[in-house]
RNA sequence: GCCGGGGUGGCGAAAUUGGUCAUACGCGCCUGGCUUAAAACCAGGUGCCCCUUCGGGGGCGUCAGGGUUCGAGUCCCUGCCCCGGCACCA
């Protein structure tokens, strides 16, 4: 018998699949659209390095599901691409020296090789990379559609500045006040930047109108909902008589309006400039500048009185106007009414600065000190006071969100150029569609300097205005790489289209994505941005759905030394040595066998020997059975029944429960049982079943064994189906309990009447030892399982 | 503080609607076989405690403490611990 030689077998079958183009998926011809299609996708890799075991987990899961679906009769699209623009790639290039394009393209070639070596099913005809002009041309084209609708706009606003990466960073990728990419502490800066108006979709993003059959982890929806942070309340107008001005505040507690005893402006509030004296202005400037700094939660609030007063619309009370650091300019209106009796922060401030505190809600949650509203339950009071304000023209019901618009321009080189021209006469002028793409210019020194590197290429920068022909300059910021990844899954469907980003018919056929796998770290970033994009593209008429991802699954982190593997942390284990040593099948099996796929795992290769042993045992036992067991009716012996049970377990675990490790255990059990006697009745059937069931996990060795069992093209065979008749047992093991404790077990025929079961139970000597001399108070019978005698 | 997810052998972990002495499968460990030897491979054993005439018998065990139930890893309550996310958002 041959030895198991994974390198040889794997190379052989990979060549066959490539030669046959076994996993390339044709698009449906117009008018003929089969129903059972499936779009399997995992988040695309950054080619800032090569693959590590985290990627191996992610893509192997997708691969198992792809094989499983295919063999269940589905047409499965499973493309791949590279998120090759942006900070990760550029920082890698700076680290390693060289041009980002060279680094990225070198890594892409290497990753493709790694992916082929692992035997993953990928339709390479649809590959896209964000940095290729054929792709980013359409990123720019889409940007212009957003711009036309006012959904991409420029404004000065407080933004997060990463001093290390020398660029603005989106809120979504500032973690604990630090840049998600490089870990540096971010600073607050007031800069003019490009934004996408994602806030216009806040309410819809809060709803998850998933396509039929869709499901998202509750956890992820909660994270997005918290991030969007919808608060319901009221906007209330306060009058500043001496300035003849109105200032609006947002509050979620209009019921406490009578308890407002002071009024606070954020340091950045425009009114501060008007009313502040020198001291106030100095305080405001200093505090605004300190914004980005990390502040301990227990740090004391600061503030300064402006000398002016605002009038409470509900009772005419004159409230001193303060400027304080605890009010944020970019939430609500940047001004608050302070109710120290019922707000912890206001109370802390009031106590520190000796401002009066007036309670307006009693222990019974009813309004007090609130004139005509006294006695109302607080909840009713909210509505009543808002209604009164509305009648007086002093306020209205309002909703506020924590979500901010998506800051998407970057002062960096390696990104998609923003197709806009700045003209002194005409303002912001879009580059005409037929002049796209605006190619990323070559620059001498692309490293970040705080000013956009693109601007250093003078020849590129200066262009005539497309509108008036006068002198103008190009926008020199580039796009956040998350713009690229907000629509890549649509481009896969129609990757070569030179006329449009994609064909609507094809996108509507394949999408929404049936099953998306990726890290939960993108819950408030990529996964939110992509939903926003799809909603906008739907409104433009480019596609016919409003949610991109039907089913979502998050794989756990593969960690090393307690932290997530990543190139920048240097704790990376790559698949290459493992594949060299054990073969791709063993690596695939091992990474999935390590534990539940949605749970974090600590990488170690201690247990890989066990998997290798298993694959070798499978090899030996199957070949033995192929030799010894006759090709005949498998019969209905124990081994055949075990095989049918295994079909049920593997199928249910992978299909319904998305468990990748327990099916491996199930097949191990079957192989162990087969190993006991490879000439037993049904041994050949058991061997074939084990090989067939394991194919999605270990496609090479199973294909080879399938061939040696005298068959062909396992990857195209339909998935095994269990015979219900062979799952039913003629007899079963009856468990007999006395007072809930198991006292005996006996093999009895299936289908006995309940009283017959009880009779047999009582006849047992071991049971009688615990029952005799006592009264049986109750008898519980679970048909097909057990009898429980309750004695007292 | 708020929200979410968890605590099962030495380790990774199983246990389809509460029902087969909980711990499948694998790792590790122990014993034996093969071998000059080692590795590899193969066979057997492996929760804790007590009793045993060596056939086996009994008790306790899923973070802790209560509860529901004939029966709880699974359901309910209280507490402890761990992991992740958010956090001056009015």
Å: A342 CA to B78 C1'? 30
Residue nearest to nucleotide B85 (CA to C1'): A223
Gap between the Cα atoms of A432 and A148, Å rounded: 12
- For chain A, give the longest Cα–Cα distance: 109
Say whether the CB atom of A791 is under 7 angstroms from strand B: no
Residue nearest to nucleotide B88 (CA to C1'): A326
Q: Which of residues 307-326 of A touch strand B (CB under 7 A)?
A: 325-326
Residue A188 bridge partners (DSSP) = A160
Q: Report the range of poorest mean pLDDT among A450-454, A602-606, A664-668.
A: A602-606
A699's tokens? 């496609």
Å: A731 CA to B53 C1'? 36
Question: What DSSP assignment string belongs to A244-270?
Answer: TEEEEEEES-GGGGGG--EEEE-TT-H
pLDDT of residue A498: 95
Cβ atoms within 10 A of the Cβ of A349, count? 24
Say whether the CB atom of A619 is under 7 angstroms from strand B: no
Q: Which of residues 377-416 of A touch strand B (CB under 7 A)?
A: 400, 402
Gap between the Cα atoms of A198 and A204, Å rounded: 10
Å: A558 CA to B22 C1'? 29
A306's tokens? 């402006």
Q: Which of residues 241-260 of A touch strand B (CB under 7 A)?
A: 249-253
Identify nearest nucleotide to residue A180 by CA to C1′ distance.
B85
Å: A524 CA to B6 C1'? 23
- pLDDT bucket at A735, cuts 50 / 70 / 90: confident
Across residues A735-764, what is the average pLDDT? 79
Residue nearest to nucleotide B90 (CA to C1'): A251
Say whether the CB atom of A199 is under 7 angstroms from strand B: no
Q: How far is CA A441 from CA A83, A133, A489, A707, in A?
A: 19, 12, 27, 54
Q: Which of residues 261-280 of A touch strand B (CB under 7 A)?
A: 266
Provide the 3-class DSSP secondary structure of residue A785: coil
For residue A91, the number of C-alpha atoms closer than 13 Å in the C-beta half-sphere is 15
- Three-state SS for A656-671 is CCCCCCHHHHHHHHHH
Say whether the CB atom of A233 is under 7 angstroms from strand B: yes
Say whether the CB atom of A733 is under 7 angstroms from strand B: yes
> Integer distance in angstroms from the first to the last C-alpha of chain A?
64
Angle at A755 between CA A751 and CA A759, to 5 degrees: 105
Identify nearest nucleotide to residue A250 by CA to C1′ distance.
B90
CA-closest candidate to residue A231, choices A384, A359, A397, A405: A397
A106's tokens? 């070198």
Gap between the Cα atoms of A257 and A397, Å rounded: 14
Identify nearest nucleotide to residue A766 by CA to C1′ distance.
B57
Convert the pLDDT of each residue in A303-360 to its tens digit: 999 999 999 999 999 999 999 988 988 888 999 999 999 888 898 899 999 999 999 9
Å: A586 CA to B9 C1'? 26
Provide the 3-class DSSP secondary structure of residue A70: helix
Cis omega (within 30 of 0) on the bond before A192? no
Cβ(A739)–Cβ(A791) below 8 Å? yes
Q: Report the range of poorest mean pLDDT among A298-307, A370-379, A524-533, A569-578.
A: A569-578
CA-closest candidate to residue A409, choices A204, A224, A159: A159
Q: Report the range of poorest mean pLDDT among A183-197, A536-550, A582-596.
A: A183-197
Å: A639 CA to B31 C1'? 30
Question: What DSSP assignment string belongs to A165-188?
Answer: TTEEE-GGGEETTEETTT-PBPEE
Helices A218-228 and A526-540: crossing angle, nearest 10°? 80
Question: What DSSP assignment string belongs to A514-539?
Answer: EEEE--GGGTTTHHHHHHHHHHHHHH
Identify nearest nucleotide to residue A299 by CA to C1′ distance.
B88
Convert the pLDDT of each residue in A692-720 to its tens digit: 999 999 999 999 999 999 999 999 999 99
Q: How far is CA A605 from CA A140, A587, A601, in A?
A: 45, 10, 12
pLDDT of residue A429: 97
Identify nearest nucleotide to residue A673 by CA to C1′ distance.
B25
Convert the pLDDT of each residue in A454-506 to its tens digit: 999 999 999 999 999 999 999 999 999 999 999 999 999 999 999 999 999 99
Cβ atoms within 10 A of the Cβ of A295, count? 12
Å: A382 CA to B31 C1'? 77
Convert the pLDDT of each residue in A571-623 to its tens digit: 677 889 889 989 999 999 999 998 888 888 877 777 788 899 899 999 989 99
- DSSP percent split of chain A into helix, strand, coil, nearest 5: 40, 20, 40
Say whether the CB atom of A215 is under 7 angstroms from strand B: no
Angle at A76 between CA A73 and CA A77, to 5 degrees: 165
Convert the pLDDT of each residue in A246-301 to its tens digit: 999 999 899 999 999 999 999 989 999 888 889 999 999 888 777 655 444 456 88
Å: A177 CA to B86 C1'? 12
Cβ atoms within 10 A of the Cβ of A599, count? 11
Strand B bases with any atom < 7 A from protein Cβ: 3-5, 12-16, 19-21, 24-28, 40-43, 57-59, 70-72, 83-90
Gap between the Cα atoms of A589 and A614, Å rounded: 10
Say whether the CB atom of A609 is under 7 angstroms from strand B: yes
Gap between the Cα atoms of A373 and A257, Å rounded: 11
Across residues A631-645, what is the average pLDDT? 87
Å: A765 CA to B56 C1'? 15
Gap between the Cα atoms of A149 and A155, Å rounded: 16
pLDDT of residue A1: 55
Angle at A124 between CA A118 and CA A126, to 5 degrees: 140
Instruction: Flag whether pLDDT at A444 surpasses 90.
Output: no
Across residues A388-411, what is the average pLDDT? 91
Identify nearest nucleotide to residue A616 by CA to C1′ distance.
B41
Cβ(A338)–Cβ(A261) below 8 Å? yes
Q: How far is CA A690 from CA A66, A67, A719, A787, in A?
A: 19, 15, 12, 35
Q: Which of residues 741-770 of A touch strand B (CB under 7 A)?
A: 741-743, 745, 766, 769
Convert the pLDDT of each residue in A133-168 to its tens digit: 999 999 999 999 999 999 999 998 778 888 888 888
Say whether the CB atom of A301 is under 7 angstroms from strand B: yes
CA-closest candidate to residue A418, choices A160, A181, A196, A174: A196
Identify nearest nucleotide to residue A339 by CA to C1′ distance.
B90
Cβ(A513)–Cβ(A42) below 8 Å? no
Say whether the CB atom of A777 is under 7 angstroms from strand B: no
pLDDT of residue A79: 97
Say whether the CB atom of A157 is under 7 angstroms from strand B: no
Instruction: Flag whether pLDDT at A792 surpasses 70.
Output: no
């Amino acid at each position: 018998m041959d030895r198991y030689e994974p390198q040889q077998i794997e190379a052989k079958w990979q060549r066959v699949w490539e030669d046959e183009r076994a996993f390339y998926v044709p698009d449906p011809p117009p008018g003929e659209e089969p129903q059972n299609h499936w779009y399997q996708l995992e988040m695309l890799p950054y080619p800032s390095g090569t693959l590590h075991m985290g990627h191996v987990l992610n893509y192997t899961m997708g691969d198992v599901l792809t094989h499983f679906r295919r063999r269940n009769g589905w047409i499965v699209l499973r493309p791949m691409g590279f998120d090759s623009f942006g900070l990760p790639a550029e920082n890698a290039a700076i680290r390693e020296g060289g041009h980002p394009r060279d680094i990225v393209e070198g890594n892409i070639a290497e990753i493709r090789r790694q992916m082929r070596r692992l035997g993953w099913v990928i339709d390479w005809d649809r590959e896209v990379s964000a940095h290729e002009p054929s792709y980013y041309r359409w990123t720019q084209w889409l940007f212009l559609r957003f711009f036309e609708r006012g959904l991409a706009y420029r404004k000065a606003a407080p933004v997060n500045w990463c001093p290390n990466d020398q660029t603005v960073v989106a809120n979504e990728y500032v973690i604990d006040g630090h840049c998600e990419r490089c870990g540096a502490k971010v600073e607050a800066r007031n800069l003019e930047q490009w934004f996408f108006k994602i806030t216009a979709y806040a309410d819809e993003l809060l709803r998850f109108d998933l396509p039929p059959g869709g499901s998202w982890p509750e956890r992820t929806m909660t994270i997005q909902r918290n991030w969007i942070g919808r608060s319901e309340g009221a906007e209330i107008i306060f009058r500043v008589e001496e300035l003849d001005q109105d200032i609006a505040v947002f509050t979620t507690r209009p019921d406490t309006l009578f308890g407002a005893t002071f009024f606070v402006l954020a340091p950045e509030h425009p009114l501060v400039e008007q009313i502040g004296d020198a001291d106030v202005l100095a305080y405001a400037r200093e505090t605004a500048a300190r914004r980005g700094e990390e502040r301990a939660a227990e740090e004391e609030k600061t503030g300064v009185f402006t000398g002016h007063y605002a009038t409470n619309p509900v009772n005419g009370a004159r409230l001193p106007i303060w400027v304080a650091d605890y009010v944020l300019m970019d939430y609500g209106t940047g001004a608050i009414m302070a109710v120290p009796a019922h707000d912890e922060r206001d109370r802390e401030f009031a106590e520190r600065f000796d401002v009066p505190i007036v309670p307006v809600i009693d222990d019974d949650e009813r309004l007090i000190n609130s004139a005509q509203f006294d006695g109302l339950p607080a909840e009713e009071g909210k509505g009543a006071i808002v209604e009164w304000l509305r009648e007086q023209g002093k306020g209205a019901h309002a909703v506020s969100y924590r979500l901010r618009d998506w800051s998407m321009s970057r002062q960096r080189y390696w990104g998609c150029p923003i197709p806009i021209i700045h003209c002194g006469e005409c303002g912001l002028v879009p580059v005409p569609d037929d002049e796209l793409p605006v190619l990323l210019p070559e620059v001498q020194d692309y490293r970040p300097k705080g000013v956009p590197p693109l601007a250093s290429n003078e020849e590129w920068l200066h262009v005539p205005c497309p509108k008036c022909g006068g002198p103008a300059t190009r926008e020199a910021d580039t796009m956040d790489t998350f713009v690229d990844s907000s629509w890549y899954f649509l481009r896969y469907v129609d990757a070569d289209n030179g006329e449009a980003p994609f064909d609507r018919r094809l996108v509507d056929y394949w999408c929404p994505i049936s099953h998306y796998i990726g890290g939960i770290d993108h819950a408030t970033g990529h996964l939110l941005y992509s939903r926003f994009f799809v909603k906008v593209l739907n409104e433009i008429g480019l596609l016919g759905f409003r949610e991109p991802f039907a089913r979502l699954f998050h794989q756990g982190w593969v960690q090393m030394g307690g932290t997530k593997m990543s190139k920048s942390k240097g704790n990376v284990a790559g698949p290459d040595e493992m594949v060299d040593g054990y073969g791709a099948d063993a690596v695939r099996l091992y990474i999935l066998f390590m534990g539940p796929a949605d749970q974090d795992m600590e990488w170690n290769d201690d247990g890989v020997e066990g998997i290798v042993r298993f694959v070798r045992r499978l090899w030996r036992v199957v070949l033995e059975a192929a030799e010894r067991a006759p090709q005949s009716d498998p019969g209905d012996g124990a081994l055949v029944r075990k095989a049918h049970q295994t079909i049920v377990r593997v199928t249910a675990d992978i299909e319904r429960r998305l468990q990748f490790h327990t099916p491996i255990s199930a097949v191990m059990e079957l192989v162990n049982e087969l190993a006991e006697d490879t000439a037993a009745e049904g041994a050949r059937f058991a061997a074939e079943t084990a090989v067939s069931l394991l194919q999605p996990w270990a496609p090479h060795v199973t294909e080879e064994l399938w061939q040696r069992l005298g068959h062909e093209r396992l990857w195209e065979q339909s998935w095994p189906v269990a015979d219900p008749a062979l799952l039913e047992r003629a007899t079963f093991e009856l468990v007999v309990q006395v007072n809930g404790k198991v006292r005996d077990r006996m093999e009895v025929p299936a289908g006995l009447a309940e009283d017959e079961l009880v009779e047999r139970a009582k006849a047992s000597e071991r049971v009688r030892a615990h029952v005799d001399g006592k009264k049986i108070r109750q008898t519980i019978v679970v048909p097909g399982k057990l009898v429980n005698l309750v004695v007292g």
